[in-house]
Amino acid sequence: MRRNGIPALIFHGLFVVFMLAPLLIVCVVAFTPEGYLSLPTRGPSLRWFRAIFDYPEFIRAFRDSLWLAALSSTIAIGLAVPAALAIARYRFPGREAITALFMSPLMVPHVVLGIAFLRFFTQIGISGTFVGLVLSHIIVVIPFALRLVLAASYGIDRRIEHAAISLGAGTATVFRRVTLPLILPGVVSGWLLAAINSFDEVTMTVFIASPATVTLPVRMFLYIQDNIDPLIAAVSACLIAMTAILLFALDRLFGLDRLFVGSGKG
Amino acid sequence: MSGVVTQRNAPFLLTGPALLVFLGLVIIPLGMTVLLSFYDWGQYKGIVPDFTLKNWIEVFTDSYFFEIFMRTFRIAFLVTLAAIVIGVPEAYILNRMSPAWRSAFLLVIIGPLLVSVVARTLGWALLLGSTGLVNQGLIALGLIKTPLEFMFTETGVVIALIHVLIPFMILAVWASLQRLDPQIENAALSLGAGRITIWRRVILPQIVPGILSGSIIVFALAASAFASPAIIGGRRLKVASTLAYDEFLNTLNWPLGAAVATLLLVALVLITVGSNRLIERRYAQVFE
Amino acid sequence: MSHLVLDGLTKRFGGFTAVDAMNLSVERGEFISLLGPSGCGKTTTLQMIAGFVEVDDGGIRLDGADLVSVAPNKRGLGIVFQSYALFPHMTVAENIAFGLEMRDVPRADRDQRTREAMELVGLKGFADRYPRRMSGGQQQRVALARALVIKPALLLLDEPLSNLDAKLREEMQGELRQIQRSIGTTTILVTHDQHEAMALSDRIVLMNHGRIEQIGAPHEVYDRPASAFVASFLGKTNVLAATGDGQGAVTIGGLALALPGAGKGPLQLAVRPERLTFAQAGEPGLEARITGRIFQGAHWQFSADSAAGVLCLMRGNNGEAVPAEGETVRLRFSAADAAILPAGAAA
């Protein structure tokens, strides 16, 4: 393979600056000692990070977001694993349509989903509850869970299962001892991707959250709507730092390209 | 497990739970939303479940809505165009890097995808403000005298959305670049083709499907984006999704909001499904 | 003057020397194979000739003119890649015509030459097919036609047949040889398959660790391996422990042979399995016990234990009875069939 030329590397450098600039500026502004938005020219200060603790709603929203992400992605994986196995190994009428249906939350604008859930939850009386948030998040994260489990399921050689059956294993044993371990990497990465997407979701959630139950991104969004100050930069900087740590961990554990790019084909 | 599991009913038993959840939580709510768009609404009487075309007539005839939808699709188109112009060369450069550098820069490109879109847009708000770094830089360089207006403008929204969505384009194009025969450039070279000819005649035609599928994703997500236009565009510069949000949570005219949302959904489904069909038909012969 | 000359050609990747000061002269119209195990530098050599890999040291001259300084897209060489590297978005005819297009050959002339090239490789009627809709053998023909249609000064083949199944490979070998003979293009084949190299080439260049081990006609390198590596890489070979008296006589167990040039003391002889024969009653021979016997249709293959080592021998199946396992036999070979391996070469 030929190497990139100088113009290509300059282009690449500018692109990297473009991708990182907004994240870096947030982190830099978060360290300002001033009471207004500015670069920390007088040296860094942690005052706005300490200030976060004076706003318990951010802490509470963060806790709720974590619970929501964990619960909704766990349930989504529970639904996605059997569905993926069925889609991967059986040819049945409606298979294509069912797959398309399960992937549809990716294509339906989240505003529309938010409106639909708001209308539906108001009608059945769970509007603004945590249960409502979990139900809606299950739907939006199922495609991510399904896609990765499906990719893992397609990769299984069914003769391995047949070998287990021939050695006397029952249906449940085959699943527990053979099938599940084989698709486990897909299940784990599917769960993670689902949890991340649930944690970050804002567009749909903004419709169905209530002051009592609100996620961190929605809390931040509503705050920014009113005013932009160093406090929100500090909150965002924490979020960016957490994501960066998670990202390195994921890259070490799975390889990012496999998590995001290779998911289409085994 | 009780009951008899057979080849025949297994797929339905396995997909059953997810299918029920989707029926209850996607089909029914979406159906109710479409229905809602045909309900009547008044400032004092609230939502009245009488069938009326009022909302739809308003959405289609009032130039206010037309303007907002035009703006939405104009922004989506510009974002898609920019994503192609920037994303395709970047994917190509990425593909030519050594594996170690490539995975490092993949972190830079995919990483922002995992950061909340609110935090990312906040960054652009800080950069693009009239006293933001971009304006200060341009003034310092002597390129401009007075700060450029990015906040509450389409330009600002487009810039923020390119940042949010370009990873999807790069990943789509990179996936199709990986399917290229690694010797294909050498083959063209040995037959006498120069760099530009190789790009135009050999590489580009093969990655067009990847560019198109990336474009569909970017266009659909740009047209339905909410947080970035809401933060950068503010109340002054509305797009379809922020319009629907205002109707629902500020004006409380739910039926009208439902009509806007339904129209956005239908328009996007038509555009994406239509272009998918077109791509499949055009490239079926060459790429299975 | 030779057609193609490699003069001290060297390529290093970091601290690893892939091709080490390689010298080679190729005559016009010759079919040369670069043969060796993977990592021996044969592909790197080909890529330096093609211009895809930069040359670190030494030169390449084609008809006396320096090739290294010529851009790869101006060298005018025809290359068939291992993966074929066909353009999947172009039809067969478009693929073949691409090189002519790059040379601004007028339309009518281009069509004519494309048609001729397709006929040459037996692809008449496939003009409008896309490569993905063709079998491996057909794709291979397209790749060959695409490389030949530009009338290249050199045809470079990079493991062109390795993706085909055994039967098709044999068929293509015959055809490739016949096409090359008919158009007379100087050809360099890179392969790890010794049968392919022997079937196709005028001369074989055996490479190992970036160096040339031996150059010669297929039967020469087969019968007269210059090193233990060549002997063991090309076909099966027996390495026999022998003792020389320093005056041209060698004893191997109970067998005495006159081998001019053999040194004094212990030495090693390479003898091909098919050159070992059973001694007739009364003839002298190397005593051996048959330990295994495998029937392979056209011939029998035996393994035998002897004082000179474990031996393998072949005998044509001519319908006569053959020794059974456990039998003791006497083996012999003529001095002409034994190659003395250089001292110190471990087998």
First to last CA, chain A: 25
Task: Choose the weakest-confidence range: A142-151, A249-258, B113-122, C265-274.
Answer: A249-258
C-beta neighbour count of B274 within 10 angstroms: 11
* CA angle (C140, C144, C145) in 5-degree steps: 115
Predicted confidence band of residue A261 (pLDDT cuts 50, 70, 90): low
**Would the CB atoms of B17 and A82 count as touching at under 8 Å?**
yes
Predicted confidence band of residue A263 (pLDDT cuts 50, 70, 90): very low
Please report residues of B whose CB lies closer than 8 A to that of A32: none
**Would the CB atoms of B186 and C85 count as touching at under 8 Å?**
yes
In this structure, what token pair is assigned to residue A212?
């009592």
Predicted confidence band of residue A266 (pLDDT cuts 50, 70, 90): very low
With contact defined as beta carbons under 8 Å apart, do A240 and A26 qualify?
yes
pLDDT at A133: 92
pLDDT surpasses 50 at C230: yes
**Would the CB atoms of A224 and B231 count as touching at under 8 Å?**
yes
pLDDT surpasses 50 at C300: yes
pLDDT at A264: 36
Predicted confidence band of residue B48 (pLDDT cuts 50, 70, 90): confident
Inter-CA distances, B102 with B107, B162, C13, Å: 9, 21, 20
pLDDT surpasses 50 at B1: no
Where b means 16+ CB within 10 Å and e means fewer, C137-151 reads bbbbbbbbbbbbbbe
Q: Is C284 helix (H, G, I), strand (E, B) or coil?
A: coil
Q: Where are the domains of chain B?
A: 68-283
B287 in A contact zone (CB under 8 Å)? no
The whole-number average pLDDT for the span C310-314 is 87
The whole-number average pLDDT for the span C71-83 is 90
**Would the CB atoms of B116 and A9 count as touching at under 8 Å?**
no
Cα separation, C105 vs C113, in Å, equals 10
Q: Which residues pair with C22 in a beta bridge?
A: C9
B204 in C contact zone (CB under 8 Å)? no
- The kind and range of the H/E element at C258 are strand C255-258
Long-range contacts of B234-239 (CB under 8 A, 24+ apart): B234/B151, B234/B152, B236/B152, B237/B71, B237/B152, B237/B153, B237/B154, B237/B157, B238/B68, B238/B71, B239/B68, B239/B71, B239/B72, B239/B75, B239/B157
B141 in A contact zone (CB under 8 Å)? no
pLDDT surpasses 70 at A256: no
Q: What ipTM did this prediction achieve?
A: 0.87
DSSP string for chain A: -PPP-HHHHHHHHHHHHHHHHHHHHHHHHTT--SSSS---TT----HHHHHHTT-HHHHHHHHHHHHHHHHHHHHHHHHHHHHHHHHHH---TTHHHHHHHHHGGGTS-HHHHHHHHHHHHHHHT-TTSHHHHHHHHHHHHHHHHHHHHHHHHHT--HHHHHHHHHTT--HHHHIIIIIHHHHHHHHHHHHHHHHHHHHH--TTHHHH--SSS--HHHHHHHHHHH---HHHHHHHHHHHHHHHHHHHHHHHHT-HHHHHTTTS--
For chain C, the farthest-separated pair of C-alpha atoms sits apart, in whole angstroms, at 77
With contact defined as beta carbons under 8 Å apart, do C210 and C40 qualify?
yes
pLDDT digits (tens, 9 = 90+) for A201-241: 999 999 898 888 889 999 999 988 888 888 889 999 999 99
Q: Which residues pair with C301 in a beta bridge?
A: C294, C314
pLDDT digits (tens, 9 = 90+) for B69-100: 999 999 999 999 999 999 999 999 998 888 88
pLDDT surpasses 60 at B281: yes
Strand order, beta sheet including C57-62: C16-26, C4-13, C57-62, C65-66
Three-state SS sequence of B127-141: HHCCCCHHHHHHHHC
The whole-number average pLDDT for the span B205-215 is 91
Exposed, middle or buried, B265 (CB in 10 Å: 0-12/13-18/19+)? buried
From chain B residues 81-110, the ones with a CB under 8 A of any chain A CB are 86, 89-90, 93-94, 96-97, 103, 105-110
Query: Across all residues in chain B, what is the average pLDDT?
Result: 86
Q: Is C257 helix (H, G, I), strand (E, B) or coil?
A: strand
Query: Across all residues in chain A, what is the average pLDDT?
Result: 86
Phi (first) and psi of residue A245, to 5 degrees: -60, -45
pLDDT at A1: 46
pLDDT at C227: 83
From chain B residues 143-162, the ones with a CB under 8 A of any chain A CB are none
pLDDT at B285: 59
Inter-CA distances, A238 with A59, A221, B113, B122, C234, Å: 12, 15, 16, 13, 66
Predicted confidence band of residue A51 (pLDDT cuts 50, 70, 90): confident
The whole-number average pLDDT for the span C198-211 is 92
pLDDT at C191: 92
Q: What type of residue sits at position A236?
A: S
Q: Is C99 helix (H, G, I), strand (E, B) or coil?
A: helix
pLDDT at B286: 58
Q: Residues of chain B with pLDDT > 90: what percent?
A: 34
pLDDT at A212: 81
Q: What type of residue sits at position B59?
A: V
- Between residues A130 and C285, the one the model is more confident about: A130
Domains of chain A: 6-260 (1.10.3720.10)
pLDDT at A259: 63
Residue the block writes with tokens 């067969």: C92
**Would the CB atoms of C72 and B190 count as touching at under 8 Å?**
yes
**Would the CB atoms of A119 and B264 count as touching at under 8 Å?**
no
* CA angle (C334, C193, C163) in 5-degree steps: 155
pLDDT digits (tens, 9 = 90+) for B213-267: 899 999 999 999 999 999 888 888 889 899 889 888 888 888 888 889 999 999 9
pLDDT at C28: 92
pLDDT at A262: 45
In this structure, what token pair is assigned to residue C41?
């530098």
Please report residues of B whose CB lies closer than 8 A to that of A102: 18, 22
For chain A, the farthest-separated pair of C-alpha atoms sits apart, in whole angstroms, at 74
Instruction: Pick from C46, C80, C96, C102 the residue to mutate for testing the B interface (most B CBs within 10 Å).
Output: C102
Strand order, beta sheet including C249-252: C255-258, C249-252, C238-245, C264-271, C338-340
pLDDT at C116: 92
Predicted confidence band of residue A142 (pLDDT cuts 50, 70, 90): very high
The whole-number average pLDDT for the span C221-242 is 84
Please report residues of A whose CB lies closer than 8 A to that of B224: 109-112, 203
Cα separation, C81 vs B187, in Å, equals 8
pLDDT surpasses 70 at B7: no
**Would the CB atoms of A111 and B171 count as touching at under 8 Å?**
no
Whole-structure pTM value: 0.84
From chain A residues 24-53, the ones with a CB under 8 A of any chain B CB are 24-26, 29, 37
A193 in B contact zone (CB under 8 Å)? no
Q: What type of residue sits at position B171?
A: L
Cα separation, C4 vs C32, in Å, equals 11
With contact defined as beta carbons under 8 Å apart, do B5 and B13 qualify?
yes
From C158, which residue of chain B is nearest by alpha-carbon distance? B183
The whole-number average pLDDT for the span C69-73 is 89
The whole-number average pLDDT for the span B190-210 is 90
Q: Is C71 helix (H, G, I), strand (E, B) or coil?
A: coil
Cα separation, C168 vs C140, in Å, equals 11
pLDDT at C264: 80
With contact defined as beta carbons under 8 Å apart, do A28 and B107 qualify?
no
Cα separation, C329 vs C306, in Å, equals 10
CA nearest neighbour of A66 among A261, A199, A233 = A199
Cα separation, C136 vs A154, in Å, equals 26
- The kind and range of the H/E element at B21 are helix B10-22
Q: Which residues pair with C60 in a beta bridge?
A: C6
Domains of chain C: 4-229 (3.40.50.300), 236-340 (2.40.50.140)
Q: What type of residue sits at position B55?
A: N
Separation of CA C97 from chain center: 31
Predicted confidence band of residue C203 (pLDDT cuts 50, 70, 90): very high
Inter-CA distances, B54 with B36, B226, B255, Å: 12, 26, 9
Chains in contact with B via at least 3 Cβ–Cβ pairs below 8 Å:
A, C
Cα separation, A87 vs C63, in Å, equals 62
With contact defined as beta carbons under 8 Å apart, do C79 and B186 qualify?
yes
Chains in contact with C via at least 3 Cβ–Cβ pairs below 8 Å:
B
**Would the CB atoms of B175 and A261 count as touching at under 8 Å?**
yes
pLDDT at B182: 86
Cα separation, C30 vs C215, in Å, equals 13
Instruction: Pick from A25, A111, A214 the residue to mutate for testing the B interface (most B CBs within 10 Å).
Output: A111
C131 in B contact zone (CB under 8 Å)? no
With contact defined as beta carbons under 8 Å apart, do C268 and C237 qualify?
no
Task: Choose the weakest-confidence range: B49-53, B281-285, C163-167, C312-316.
Answer: B281-285
User: Where would I find the H helices in chain C?
Assistant: 42-50, 92-102, 107-120, 136-148, 166-183, 194-200, 218-223, 228-233
pLDDT at B15: 85
With contact defined as beta carbons under 8 Å apart, do A171 and B5 qualify?
yes
Cα separation, C109 vs C101, in Å, equals 10
Fold of B68-283: MetI-like fold (1.10.3720)
pLDDT digits (tens, 9 = 90+) for A53-104: 888 888 899 999 999 999 999 999 999 999 998 888 888 888 888 888 899 8
Please report residues of C whose CB lies closer than 8 A to that of B184: 85, 87
